[in-house]
Structure 1
Amino acid sequence: MANPEKTKALLDAGVHFGHLTRKWHPNMAPYIFMERNGIHIIDLHKTQAKLEDAQRALTKIAASGRKILFVATKKQGKEIVAEFAAEANMPYITERWAGGMLTNFVTIRKAIKKMANIDKMKADGTFETLSKRERLQVDRQRAKLEKNLGSIADMSRLPAAIFVVDVLREHIAVEEARKLNIPVFAMVDTNSDPLLVDFPIPANDDASKSISIIMSEVTTAIKEGLSQRKNEKEKAGNEKVAKKAAKVATND
């Protein structure tokens, strides 16, 4: 059952505003409530239901200790997604999506290793032995790598899922994930095909307020999963200590 308070919050954020009717994708029909002044209006009850489905799945993934990669290169969502993803300790791509980011992950890992090697050079003093011109070139290379790969530097393996803002803009990321059977979560506007996504969330993917409220809900679910994992680890640790203490007491 829809939560009236959440419905109002989504409404106030403009999540219901779709695209012009002439730009719609027919597969979005089940999620469209009505047409108003030539614009499709998204059914927020459907949005809530799909958002809850996505949240449950994301909580499970986070609780398992696996990573969710966030992708949003459009101007309206870059900073918002970077902020929320960082809060949830998840990797994100907000600059250009490099083709093969998923399907050619070995090459991406090499680039990340190159960035780590430069950092090591700076830490052990090797960097200072280079000429001024060489240092400048290395710094430029490091800056470029940081811009494109900085947020995924700690991603040692493929993500368990990706979350996308704007399926059309990030179609390469979606295609790569689908090719590798990586679940795709996404904000899907009325001009996009929800069938390309495992967990579509019908929503306005152009307005910053809309992106922000969906990201807030999504990362809250991820944080809940991380909290569950932390509690389970602490519980297992306490049980281990208790068993060890009991064994020592028995031997005494």
Structure 2
Amino acid sequence: MASRFLQKTASSFRGITARSSCFIRPLSTVNSLKEASPSIEGENVTPESLVPPPSTPLKRPIRQAVASAVEPITPYNITISKLMAAGLHLGHSTSLWEPATLPFIFGTREGISIINLEHTLVYLRRACNVAREVALRGGSILFVGTRPGFQELTIEAARYCDGFHVSSKWIPGTLTNRHQVLGRHAPPDPEDPGRPPKTYKPDLIVLLNPLEHKIAISEAQLNNIPIIAITDTDYDPRLVSYPIPANDDSIRGVELIAKVLSTAARDGLHRRKQLLDQKEKEKKLLRKQHSTKY
């Protein structure tokens, strides 16, 4: 009995020592960490030390950070998923359906016509090719968008490709009677101030809301000016030269189409500048060779 009692006490004593060693280990690690870390009790904390230096980069808003991280949409990477995300597949009610838009309609859902985005993508790429070629040949492009919410994106699209814009109101006679309508706003001729100022016609018109611009379309047709327009299911696409079947009520969708078209026109301008620079270099080289020859 005594031996058993001695064995139990020995085992309990071993357990106590093991537990105490377990408790001692984390305390030792904490002490070592305290010794390794620098003490800040003696340091003087001032308000100037809490202010970050001017070289510290500022935090940008989440919207700007996401916009910079996402790849910009161009005519070369546009897809059907991006068109659907912008809401370009939603048409008007079936009661406002225009029969001429039947080839562009995928079906109907809950009384709303659904636009086939495969056709939208094809017609959008064709319109981009037209805008690029017009800019490549030195033509001027006019963006027209007067619906509420379209003014800013119309101006941005026109400025991006060095074009022109009408964002407030289309004045009747801007094309058919441009000498009287636009002549008073045109600068006078420096060589002959008495001569009436020159006014020019655009080579291409991009209509973002053609339903409200029947007069502009008729004037463009009289002057043989091609038109690129966003045609919804309630508008006849045969009235314009290059229709783009899409939802013209979605601000995001209209902004997407305007940005893609302006990017294509900017590519044409860049290509034109490269060709002109190349021709200028060739002319200089010919002049140099001619001067050295004689």
TM-score normalised by the chain length of structure 2: 0.69
> Would the aligned equivalents of 1:71 and 1:170 in 2 still touch at CA under 8 Å?
no
The 5-angstrom pairing of residues 82-93 of structure 1 reads: 82-93=155-166
Q: Alpha-carbon deviations, 1:101-150, whole Å to 9, x = none?
A: 1111111332213xx57xxxxxxxxxxxxxxxxxxxxxxxxxxxxxxxxx
Report if aligned partners of 1:166, 1:189 keep a CA contact under 8 Å in 2.
no
1:179 shift after superposition: 1.5
Deviations 1:66-102 (A, max 9, x none): 1011111101311111111111110010111100011
Greater fraction helix? 1
Q: 2:128 aligns with which of 51, 55, 60?
A: 55
Aligned partner of 2:82 in structure 1 is 9
Q: Distance in 2 between matches of 1:93 and 1:46?
A: 28
2:278 aligns to what SS in structure 1?
helix
Q: Which has the higher contact order (CA 8 A, sep 6+)?
A: 1
Matched, 1:36 2:109: yes
How many Å separate the matches in 1 of 2:166 and 2:184?
A: 15
Cα gap change, 1:5/1:179 in structure 2, threshold over 3 Å: closer, same or farther? closer
2: distance between equivalents of 1:160 and 1:5?
A: 25
The answer to whether residue 118 in structure 2 is matched with residue 45 in structure 1 is yes
2:259 aligns with: 216
- Residue 24 in 1 paired to residue 118 in 2? no
Unaligned runs of 5+ in 2: 1-75, 189-197
Q: Give the residue type in structure 1 aligned to 2:221.
A: R
CA contact (8 A) 2:160 2:263 kept: no
- Could you tell me how far apart the structure 1 residues matched to 2:102 and 2:77 are? 23
| DSSP-derived class of the 2:210 partner | coil
Taking a change above 3 Å as real, the CA distance of residues 219 and 5 of structure 1, as seen in their structure-2 partners, is closer
SS in 2 for 1:33: strand
Contact 2:174 2:182 in 1 (8 A): no
Would the aligned equivalents of 1:68 and 1:159 in 2 still touch at CA under 8 Å? yes
Question: CA shift at 1:212, angstroms?
Answer: 0.8
Match of residue 237 from structure 1: 280
Match of 2:225 in 1: 182
Q: 2:182 maps to what in 1?
A: 109
**Cα pair 1:76 1:206 within 8 Å, conserved:** no
Q: Partner of 2:268 in structure 1?
A: 225
The CA deviation at 1:4 is 9.2
The one of 167, 171, 189 equivalent to 2:210 is 167
**Residue 5 of structure 1, CA deviation:** 6.1
* Contact 1:72 1:170 (C-alpha < 8 Å) held by counterparts: no
TM-score by length of 1: 0.80
CA RMSD, Structure 1 to Structure 2 (Å): 1.9
- CA separation in 2, counterparts of 1:4 and 1:191? 29
Q: Which amino acid aligns with 2:267?
A: E
Aligned-partner SS, 2:234: coil
Q: In the alignment, is the contact (CA less than 8 A) between 1:84 and 1:215 conserved in 2?
A: yes
What code does the residue aligned with 1:235 have? Q
Question: Higher Cα Rg: structure 1 or 2?
Answer: 2
1:91-130 aligned at under 5 Å gives the runs: 91-113=164-186, 116=187
* Equivalent position SS for 1:110: coil
2:44 aligns to what? none
* Pairs aligned (count): 212
Residue identity matched to 1:14: G
C-alpha distance in structure 2 between counterparts of 1:5 and 1:208, whole Å = 17
Once residues 192 and 166 of structure 1 are traced to their aligned partners in structure 2, the CA distance between those partners, rounded to angstroms, is 10
Cα pair 1:102 1:177 within 8 Å, conserved: yes
- Partner SS, residue 97 of structure 1: coil
C-alpha separation in 1, matches of 2:276 and 2:220: 30
